[in-house]
Amino acid sequence: MIEANQPLAQDGKDTKATSTTITMQDIYDNDPLIVLLEEKLHLNNLLIFILLTFIKLGSFYGFYTLPGVSSRLVNQAFFALLETFTACLFYTAYIWLPNAVCFLFNSLKDNGVLDTSDHNQFQASYGRFCDSFRFWMKRRVWLIGTLIFILLYLLNRYLAGGPPFIRNVPAWLQIVTAILDGLIAYCGVMSLIRLIISIIFVNSLFRTFTIHVNPLHPDGCGGLGVMHRVLWVTVTFILGLTLTFYETIQISVANNIPFSSLDAVALAIGYLILAPSFLLCWLALPHNSMLRERQSALLPLVNEFQQIATKAVLVTEQETPEILADTDRLSAVKRRYDLINEIYPTWPVEITQIRNIIAALSLPALLPIFPLIVSVFKFIVGLLPN
């Protein structure tokens, strides 16, 4: 189990000075692909996305339109679109997740969400937390495990027949397709590993450190609104993973592999469990911390109201001024209670963001009509003059 305060393995190297700032290099230091693109070629995130997408589209649509190949792909537009959308979603998660995670951790520290009243103790505790995070992110076992998984994935994919068009293309193009599929799988698996580690450490952060909520923070979420970036990256990963499973089912159907219907049911059930689980992993502990913060602000008012309301006072003419004063005090306490209860946010993202996320996660419900959309598109293209 990953723990924030566990001792770090030294691996025979000198320990570097503890830093309380998480950098992108701390996350992708064990990833040779993104090190090449980010540090060697000095490409920003957008250029990396454009490059990877261009490689995918150029190879897929360029090579597959060569003479002798394109005529065999007339009926495979559906698989081409699935491959394209899946690749773009995984590329998005792979490229922008390190940035979103760095922004999350550093903003929570800089926005005053974490209690830094005891500066020395905080620096020491948070420094150990960051070191443990770096240790788990940089482990070489993730890269080795990912490469082994890709080999097994490609072996299984092509033993099962692969996409129906793969049997109709030259061997060299099958190899190119395998490399492209391996690249997509690499981005997906590395993103999943980083996502799980980040979720574990975010939850550890909210369990280990005292959280302060600023109800008047401009983000409308008490300073925790920075979580919306990592939530949207998580949504893109979930959608990409869903399209991968859906494409596998379509391949099974096209190749007459049994149990494809059972796979479709498993996909639906898995998605209904997976999507809410990922989001709850990000939101549950922050939500509970924000509720506790609001409760701590309201509890003194509750106690004061209870003390005044239960005070025994004789209703006599001499006690009337005191009764009126207590009544005014009760009214003021109640107004203060209502104000604090109203302005204290209890979710790390705004309601409109949650609605947008739910709407995005509902898109897989349109998958059954996706082939119909492709058929309509092909029909329209067929009406165009040659």
Domain boundaries, the chain: 24-290
Alpha-carbon torsion, ordered 110, 353, 24, 234, to 10 deg: 140
The answer on pLDDT for 369 being more than 60 is yes
Q: What is the pLDDT of residues 20-68, one digit of tens each?
A: 889 999 999 889 999 999 989 999 999 999 999 988 887 767 776 676 6
pLDDT at position 331 = 92
Structure tokens given for 219: 């983000």
**Integer angstrom CA distances of residue 372 from 151, 181, 376:** 34, 25, 6
How far apart, in whole angstroms, are the C-alpha atoms of residue 242 and residue 236? Answer: 10
Cα-only R_g, the chain = 28
How far apart, in whole angstroms, are the C-alpha atoms of residue 327 and residue 59? Answer: 78
Within the chain, how many helices (H) and strands (E) appear? 12, 0
Q: What is the mean pLDDT of residues 247-271?
A: 64
How far apart, in whole angstroms, are the C-alpha atoms of residue 203 and residue 205? Answer: 5
Q: What is the pLDDT of residues 271-314, one digit of tens each?
A: 778 788 888 889 888 999 999 999 999 999 999 998 888 876 65
- Residue 60 is classified by DSSP as I
How far apart, in whole angstroms, are the C-alpha atoms of residue 152 and residue 160? Answer: 12
pLDDT at position 75 = 44
Structure tokens given for 177: 């397709």
How far apart, in whole angstroms, are the C-alpha atoms of residue 191 and residue 240? Answer: 11
Distant-in-sequence, close-in-space partners of 80: CB < 8 Å, separation ≥ 6: 60, 61, 64, 73
pLDDT at position 98 = 94
pLDDT band for 366, please (50, 70, 90 cuts).
confident
Q: Which of 129, 53, 35 is nearest to 91 (CA)?
A: 53
pLDDT at position 13 = 42
Q: What is the pLDDT of residues 151-184, one digit of tens each?
A: 887 777 666 555 555 566 677 777 787 888 889 9
The answer on pLDDT for 74 being more than 80 is no
* Residue with tokens 């800089």, as numbered in its chain: 110
- Residue 14 is classified by DSSP as P
How far apart, in whole angstroms, are the C-alpha atoms of residue 70 and residue 371? Answer: 20
297 close to 290: Cβ distance less than 8 angstroms:
no
How far apart, in whole angstroms, are the C-alpha atoms of residue 27 and residue 99? Answer: 9
How far apart, in whole angstroms, are the C-alpha atoms of residue 52 and residue 44? Answer: 12
How far apart, in whole angstroms, are the C-alpha atoms of residue 258 and residue 363? Answer: 27
How far apart, in whole angstroms, are the C-alpha atoms of residue 224 and residue 290? Answer: 9
Structure tokens given for 361: 């996660």
Of 55-59, 256-260, 263-267, give the lowest mean pLDDT range: 256-260
The pLDDT > 90 percentage for the chain reads 35
Q: What is the mean pLDDT of residues 63-85?
A: 65
How far apart, in whole angstroms, are the C-alpha atoms of residue 101 and residue 241? Answer: 20
Percent helix / strand / coil, the chain, rounded to 5? 75, 0, 25
